[in-house]
Chain A
Amino acid sequence: MRRVVITGMGVCAPNGIGLDDFSEALQQGKSGVRFQPKLKELQFGCQIAASPLIKEGVKEKYFTPLQLRGLNASGLVYGVMAGVDAWNDAGLSKSIGDSPDWDSGILFGTGILGVDKFREAIYKVDENNVRRLGSTAVMQTMASGISAYLGGILGCGNQVTTNSSACSTGTEGVLMAYDRIVSGNAERMLVGSCSDSGPYVWGGFDAMRILPRKFNDNPEIASRPMSATASGFVPGSGAGAMVLESLESAQQRNAKIYAEVLGGNVNSGGQRGGGTMTAPNNEAVQLCIQKGMQSAGVKSYEIDAINGHLTATIKDATEIDNWSEALQLKGGNFPYINSFKGVIGHCLAAAGSIECVGAILQLTNNRIFGNVNCEDIHPDIADKITLGKVPLKTFSFKANVIAKASFGFGDVNACVFFKRYDD
């Protein structure tokens, strides 16, 4: 079977843009959660969020002046930045001339794109002014706008598409791209996901009362995965991207290799057996992890660390139970586990890809990044696994296999396994 490796990465995260800043931020436990005056003005219950801070003049490095005209789709900006960075990081160049690179494709997911642009369009349409929409309303608001922009910038001639599976989008994408390379249909796939910022994306979650409301004056301690005082997820945004490539192609190009993708599994709980639109069917989560291990050829004792979905709701303890059941490991035998959501919030459709990039940085930096805001670990978690398995500080550790899972609305699950690459 063809082996698949990761040869490039890029990230646009709330606590760091680019691999160096992001890796440093995860290492230090630096928070990207901030007070959002706009949310206060709009009388949101939760007035904090985690969004990438893009410095003046940075967009101009990724977009032409023409592309920047009327650009009002934050997810698209994050996605293009992360995607182009990953491509460059892999040592690949943009196709020049009339022929695209037929062996390279793009699979870049999102939940909803260009919400602010869509709002502009709605106002114009309602004012009987549809003729004033201009040419960019469609490409900035179509879900596949992000893969379409990247496809044009890079000149990819293989499959160029967008997946969407709520908060599992980014992790699911890695497995879809992996399959396409394993099957021989592509040599390399730029895979990632992005999510817009702003009240129109986050409002629905605020209305569902699943965002924390007690931390508006203290944003950095609001996102509390695995904590007894977790009170909801902090909404976030951003993008993560990876270049997945066949091992042959990577070796031929002499590319640097971050890690190997061993495979994994994607499934759904069918909104049965305790699963609903918003809550996972536990059996499905466990099956997803177990089938993922089978397909990746990994035994549970070989898993050194887990980067969980762990959003900082009351469901975190259930997720730990599911991992423990699926792996048949508990107490001191349970792998290290962390959640980056303590510092980046829940970046929704972008969560999986940003967190995959973070998980892989642990392999290349020989570190396990510490959890923040869970000094008061949830008692049900403490009952299940040894406290030291939820590290509160970053420490040196040479992990060999890391599991990453994401779960999404619609009762959908994705679990992928990454392995340190040794020649």
Chain B
Amino acid sequence: MNKEKYQKLKEIVAVYLPEDVSVNDITEESHFINELNINSANLVDIVLDVEDAFDIMLENEDMDQMQTVKNAVEIIEAKLSNK
């Protein structure tokens, strides 16, 4: 997995972590809602931040598939290579 993109995504996600989850808890396998305890409403904001940061546009099906950090990085890479 692309380190740079992973790092950038981690920074985006960090803002939405609840108080009892630290940035260090984020791993490639982390599930946004079940493991990082991110409020499902905030997933919408993460998607918008990702779009801005990588200058891509995510479709509804992309959002449905974005369950884990790894899923997200894969979707970002796919979008960027199709540009």
Which residue numbers of A lie inside 8 Å of B, CB to CB? 65-66, 69-70, 132, 134-136
Check if B15 sits within 8 Å of A135, measured CB to CB. Answer: no
Check if B45 sits within 8 Å of A69, measured CB to CB. Answer: yes
9 closest cross-chain pairs (CB), A and B: A135-B41, A135-B44, A134-B45, A135-B45, A134-B48, A66-B15, A135-B42, A134-B44, A66-B16
15 further contact pairs, Cβ within 8 A, besides A135-B45, A136-B45: A65-B15, A66-B15, A66-B16, A66-B42, A69-B15, A69-B45, A70-B45, A132-B48, A134-B44, A134-B45, A134-B48, A135-B39, A135-B41, A135-B42, A135-B44
A148, chain B: closest CB distance, angstroms = 13
Chain B facing A: main interface SS: helix
Contact with A along B7-39 (1 / 0, CB 8 A): 000000001100000000000000000000001
Q: Quick one: which of B16, B39, B45 has the most chain A CB within 10 A? A: B45
Closest to B42 in A: A135
**Inter-chain contact count A-B, CB under 8 Å?**
17
B21, chain A: closest CB distance, angstroms = 12
Inter-chain contacts of A65 with B (CB < 8 A) = 15
Could you tell me which residues of chain B, from 38 to 59, have a CB within 8 Å of some CB in chain A? Answer: 39, 41-42, 44-45, 48
- Distance, CA A66 to CA B41, complexed state (A): 12
Inter-chain contacts of A70 with B (CB < 8 A) = 45
B66, chain A: closest CB distance, angstroms = 15
- Distance, CA A70 to CA B39, complexed state (A): 16
- Distance, CA A373 to CA B80, complexed state (A): 65
Inter-chain contacts of A132 with B (CB < 8 A) = 48
Inter-chain contacts of A69 with B (CB < 8 A) = 15, 45
A96, chain B: closest CB distance, angstroms = 11
- Distance, CA A69 to CA B41, complexed state (A): 14
Q: Quick one: which of A65, A134, A135 has the most chain B CB within 10 A? A: A135
Inter-chain contacts of A134 with B (CB < 8 A) = 44-45, 48
- Distance, CA A132 to CA B49, complexed state (A): 10
B62, chain A: closest CB distance, angstroms = 12
Closest to B41 in A: A135
Closest to B43 in A: A135
- Distance, CA A69 to CA B44, complexed state (A): 13
- Distance, CA A69 to CA B45, complexed state (A): 10
Inter-chain contacts of B42 with A (CB < 8 A) = 66, 135
- Distance, CA A135 to CA B38, complexed state (A): 13
- Distance, CA A66 to CA B38, complexed state (A): 12
A63, chain B: closest CB distance, angstroms = 13
A113, chain B: closest CB distance, angstroms = 18
